[in-house]
A and B are shown apart, each in its own frame.
Chain A
Amino acid sequence: MQLSPGKIAPALRPPTLLNRMWKSRAAYAMLAPYFILFTLFTIAPVLMAMGVSLTYFDALNWPRFVGWANYLKLFLEDELFLKAFRNTMLLAMVTGPASYLLCLLFAWIINEFRGWIRALLTLVFYAPSICGQAYLIWNIILTGDRYGLLNGVLMRLSVISEPRLWMQTERFVMPMLIVVQLWLSLGTGFLAFVAGLQTIDGSLYEAAAIDGVKNRWQELWFVTLPAMRPQLMFGAVMQITQSFAIADVSLQLAGNPSVNYAGSTIVTHLLDYGGIRFEMGYASAIATTLFLLMIGSNKLVQRVLRRIGE
C-alpha cells in the first residue's frame, strides 16, 4: 500500500471509513467505468423489474400502482403460467442435475486422455453450446414426416410403423426438449471441470493410494471431488441458471405457442406478455418470480455443495 509521507494518522486512532475510502481513491477510479455500466444495465434493471411488477404498465402511460395484484393473478388465475411454471420446474429439475453430472462425467473421462485426443473430445462436447442457432438442425432430425431423420431411422428399425409428429404431439414435446437441451448444455461449467481436473496435484492420488484407496471410483469420491470443490460450485451456478432460462429451444423447435402449450416455459410466457402484449407490469412480475427462483435454487445448491468433503 502506498502511503504519502507526512499524512500518517495519529497512532492510536483507527482510520475512519471516509479516511480509508479516500486512501483507496485509486481503486474506486479503476472500478468506476465497469461498475457504472454494471449498475445501469444489471442492478438497476433488477430493482426496476421488482418495482414495475407492483404496477399496471403498458409502456405508454405512467405506471399505476396495483400492489400484489399481478402476483395474485399469476399464481391464482393464470393457468397458462402455472403450466409454464410446471414445465420450467420439470426442465430445470431434469436438465439441471443431469447436465451437471454429464459435465462432470465427461470431464472426468476426458481427463484420462492426453494431447490431441483430449483437445478433440473437449471440442466435440463443448461445441454445441457455442454454436448459437446451430440447434436448428434438430428441426431436420425431428421433422414429423418421412423425411425426418429420427422417423427414418426408427421406421427402418421397425420401432414405429408410421412417422410420428414429434414436436406436434403433446407427450413427446418435453422429452425431446430435454434431449436437445442436454445436447446444448455442456458449456462454461464443463470447461471449468475439464480445467479443474487438470490441476489436481498427482501426489494427492499417491497419498490416497497408500491410505487404502483401491479403485478409480473411490479415488473420485475421496480425492478428486473434494479437490475440485470450487469448480463444482462454479459449474453448478452455470448449469442451474441455464436450466431455468430455457426458451429459444422451445420457441424454435416446438413453435410459439407450442401445441397445447406443452413446451411453454416461464421465459416464453414472459416474452409473450413483455414482447407481444406489452403488459409490462405483469411481465415484470413473471421476471421477478423467475429471478427469485434462479437465485433461490442457486443459493440452496451452493449450501449443499459446500459440504462436499467436509
Chain B
Amino acid sequence: MRSGKLNRSAAGNGLLFALMGVCGVFMALPLVMIVNNALKPLDEIFQYPPRVFVRYPTLENFADLFVLLSGSWTPFSRYILNTVIITGGGVLGHVALASLAAYPLSRMDFPGRKLLFSMVVLSLMFSWTVTQIPNYLIVSALRINNTYLALILPACAYGMGLYLMKQFMEQLPASLLESARLDGAGELRIYWSIIMPNVKPAWLTLAIFQFQSLWGNTGYLFLRDEQLKPLQYAMQQIAAGGAQRAGASAAVGMIIAAIPITFFLCAQSRILETMTTSGMKD
C-alpha cells in the first residue's frame, strides 16, 4: 500500500479487494487449467467428474509431444529454425525501421509530418483482417509469396511500434538534442548516438509486442512449403489430432502460452515505462 494515501476507507478497500480477488480467480483459472492439463496423465484428462488440479503430475505429455514432433516428416528443428527466422527478422526489422522513422516524426519539423503520423494513428483503428485480401495480392505481385519475406516485410511496418516509439521519443528532454545540434552533429549521428541509447525501454517493448503478434502466426495464408512453416503451425496440427493426442495437445497448449508470458515477465517494468507515454494527445 502506498504510504500516506489519502481518502481511503476500510470498507472501500474491502469491497474493491474482494472484487479483485473474484475476478483474479476467473482470469487465472483457465491459465491454471492449461498448466495442470499439461501435467495430467491421460486417464486424468478424461476423468469424470472433471477436476482442475492434477493428482499425479507427470511429464509424459511432453515426452509424447517430443516423439510426435521428431517423427514428423519435416524435422522438428526445421520448424524451430523457421520460427526463429520469422520472429527474429520481423522483430529486428520492425525495431530498426520504426525507431528510424520515429525520430524525425518526434524531433524534426518538415512538411507532411502531421499527415504521416495521423495515417499511423488511423492504422491503429482497424484490424489486419480488413486488408488481408489485398495484402495477399500485393505479396503475390512482389513475388515473395511462399518465402519468409511474405511474413517479415509486412510485420516491419506495423503501426503500433512506430506509434509507441514516437510517443516515447517525444518525452526525452530537449536539452539532450540541442547541445549535439550546436556541435554540428548530423541527424543520423544524433539518432544513433543520442536518441537510441535513451530509448532502450521502448526497443524492448516493441520487440516484445512484435514477438507476441508473430508468435501466434501460423503463416497459413502465405507459406505453402512444409519446409518454411513455423513451429506454431506444427503444434496446431498436433493439437488438432483429436482424443488420442489429447495429452500431447495439452503440452502444446502450455508451450504456446508459456513463451510469451515468460518474455513479458522479464520485460514487464520496461514495458510499463514505455506505456506511460502511450497516450493520445488529440
Which residues of A come within 8 Å of B, CB atoms? 1-2, 17, 20-21, 23-24, 26-28, 30-31, 33-35, 37-38, 40-46, 48-49, 52, 59, 102, 106, 109-110, 112-114, 119, 121-128, 130-138, 140-141, 146-149, 152, 156, 183, 186, 188, 191-192, 194-196, 198-199, 205-206, 209, 213-216, 218-219, 228-234, 237-238, 240-242, 244-245, 247, 267, 270-271, 274, 280, 283-284, 287-288, 290-291, 294-295, 298-299, 302, 306
In contact, A31 and B30 (Cβ under 8 angstroms): no
Main secondary structure of the interface of B (DSSP, over half): helix
Q: Return 11 A-B CB contacts under 8 Å, by A number.
A: A41-B153, A44-B138, A46-B126, A52-B133, A110-B20, A126-B264, A127-B31, A140-B37, A233-B280, A234-B278, A280-B133
Contact A215 B33 (CB under 8 A): no
Contact check: which of A112, A125, A134 meets B257 at CB < 8 Å? A134
**Bound: A238/B124 CA distance, A:** 7
Interface residues on B, range: 35 or more
B50 is contacted by which of A20, A35, A147, A191 (Cβ under 8 Å)? Answer: A147
Contact status A241-B125, CB under 8 Å: yes
B256 touching A45, Cβ below 8 Å: no
The yes or no answer to B157 lying at the interface (CB within 8 A) is: yes
Chain B residue nearest to A220 in the complex (CB)? B7
**Interface pair A231/B253, CB less than 8 Å apart:** no
User: Count of A-B contacts with CB under 8 A?
Assistant: 305
Q: Is B20 touching A137 in the complex (CB atoms < 8 A)?
A: no
Asked if B73 is at the interface (CB within 8 A of a chain A CB), the reply is no
A183 near B125 (CB under 8 angstroms)? no
How far does the Cβ of A147 sit from chain B's closest Cβ, in whole Å? 6
CA distance A194 to B281 in the complex (A): 18
Q: Of B54-62, B63-71, B80-88, B105-113, which binds chain A? A: B105-113
Chain B residues whose C-beta falls within 8 Å of the C-beta of A126 in the assembled complex: 264
Q: Is B7 a contact partner of A133 (Cβ separation < 8 A)?
A: no
The smallest beta-carbon distance between B171 and chain A, in angstroms, is: 10
User: Could you say which of B33, B104, B134 contacts A27, with CB atoms under 8 Å apart?
Assistant: B104
Q: Say which residue of A24, A130, A138, A216 sits within 8 Å of B30 (CB atoms).
A: A138
**A37–B157 contact, CB under 8 A?**
yes
A2 x B184 contact (CB < 8 A): yes
Contact (Cβ within 8 A) A230 B33: no
Residue of A at shortest CB range from B164? Answer: A188
Closest to B236 in A: A133
Q: How far is the CA of A42 from the CA of B154 in the complex (A)?
A: 8
Chain B 118-136 per-residue mask, 1 if CB under 8 angstroms from chain A, else 0: 0110111111011111110
Task: Assess the A195–B273 pair: CB atoms within 8 A.
Answer: yes
Say whether, besides A45-B135, A112-B1, A267 and B125 are in contact (CB < 8 Å). Answer: no
**Of B24, B33, B46, which one neighbours A125 at CB under 8 angstroms?**
B24
In contact, A149 and B7 (Cβ under 8 angstroms): no
A100 to B116: give the CA distance in the assembly, Å. 28
Q: Within residues 15 to 62 of chain B, which ones have a CB less than 8 A from any CB in chain A? A: 16-17, 19-20, 23-24, 26-28, 30-31, 33-34, 37, 46, 48-50, 52
| Bound complex: CA A244 to CA B135 (Å) | 20
Is the C-beta of B76 less than 8 angstroms from some C-beta in chain A? no
Q: What separation, in Å, do the CA atoms of A186 and B27 have in the docked complex? A: 10
Question: Known contacts A26-B187, A131-B261; is A287 also within 8 Å of B133 by CB?
Answer: yes
Task: Give the distance in Å from the alpha carbon of A110 to the alpha carbon of B17 in the complex.
Answer: 9
Q: Of residues A146, A191, A230, A231, which shows the largest number of chain B Cβ atoms within 10 Å of its Cβ?
A: A191
> CB distance A183 to B27 under 8 Å?
yes
